[in-house]
């Protein structure tokens, strides 16, 4: 059952992920992706990603997973070498946002089979598609993990059929 709009769900402004490499005990953002649910110029987006990445990477592991950046609240969680970051309105519930981030990672784990940075780098379209199934315009769309995986599986089947049709067309 899809949840269309519940006032207690946070309105997420952006979701990003970073892959982190350690070089001589210093963390370096190696790659990143982001999905924005608000309109900003590319220059502003790049600045925000740079600033927030530096803030998150500078924090110690025992520190709180919430921080404030300008007029938004940043919620992040680290999974191995991947950081998942969400920006919300300052009045939104941080714990629910953290749960949405965790749900997103769980969905990717189930799809990829223990997601790692290479899965996201080489198949980033699926990472975006999974996020699009969970959130629309920054609002939680689908709370059922089974429904999300079912829709993703259906899309994979359609893509496979298109590839087969293209191969048959080229041969014939």
- For residue 5, is it within any domain? no
Does residue 51 belong to any structural domain of this protein?
yes
Task: Kindly indicate the confidence band of residue 79, based on its pLDDT and cuts at 50, 70 and 90.
Answer: confident
- Judge whether residue 75 has pLDDT over 80: yes
Residue 3 lies in a domain: no
Domain interval for residue 100: 12-171
pLDDT at 4: 47
CATH number of the CATH domain containing 144: 3.30.450.60
Tokens encoding 74? 């940043």
Number of domains in the chain: 1
**Which backbone phi and psi does 20 adopt, to 5 degrees?**
-120, 135
Phi–psi pair at 40, nearest 5 degrees: -140, 155
b vs e for 84-108, b when ≥16 Cβ sit within 10 Å of the residue's Cβ? bbbbbeeebebebbbbbbebbbebb
87 within a domain of the structure (yes/no): yes
Q: Which of 92, 10, 18, 80 is nearest to 54 (CA)?
A: 18
- The C-alpha atoms of residue 134 and residue 145 are separated, in whole angstroms, by 9
pLDDT at 143 over 50: yes
Specify the pTM: 0.80
How many other CB atoms are there within 10 angstroms of residue 36's CB atom?
Answer: 15
Per-residue pLDDT, 34: 85
User: Is the model's pLDDT at 154 over the cut of 50?
Assistant: yes
């Amino acid at each position: 059952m899809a949840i269309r709009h519940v006032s207690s769900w946070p309105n997420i402004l952006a979701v990003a992920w970073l892959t982190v490499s350690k070089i001589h005990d210093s963390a370096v953002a190696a790659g990143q992706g982001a999905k924005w649910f608000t309109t900003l110029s590319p220059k502003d987006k790049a600045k925000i990603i740079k600033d927030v990445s530096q803030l998150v990477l500078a924090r110690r592991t025992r520190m709180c997973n919430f921080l404030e950046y300008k007029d938004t609240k940043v919620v992040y969680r680290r999974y191995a070498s991947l950081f998942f970051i969400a920006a919300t309105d300052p009045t939104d519930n941080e714990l629910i946002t953290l749960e949405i981030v965790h749900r997103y990672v769980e969905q990717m784990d189930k799809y990829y089979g223990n997601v790692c940075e290479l899965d996201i780098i080489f198949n980033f379209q699926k990472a975006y598609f999974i996020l699009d199934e969970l959130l629309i315009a920054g609002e939680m769309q689908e709370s059922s993990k089974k429904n999300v995986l079912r829709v993703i599986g259906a899309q994979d089947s359609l893509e496979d059929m298109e590839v087969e049709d293209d191969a048959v067309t080229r041969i014939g």
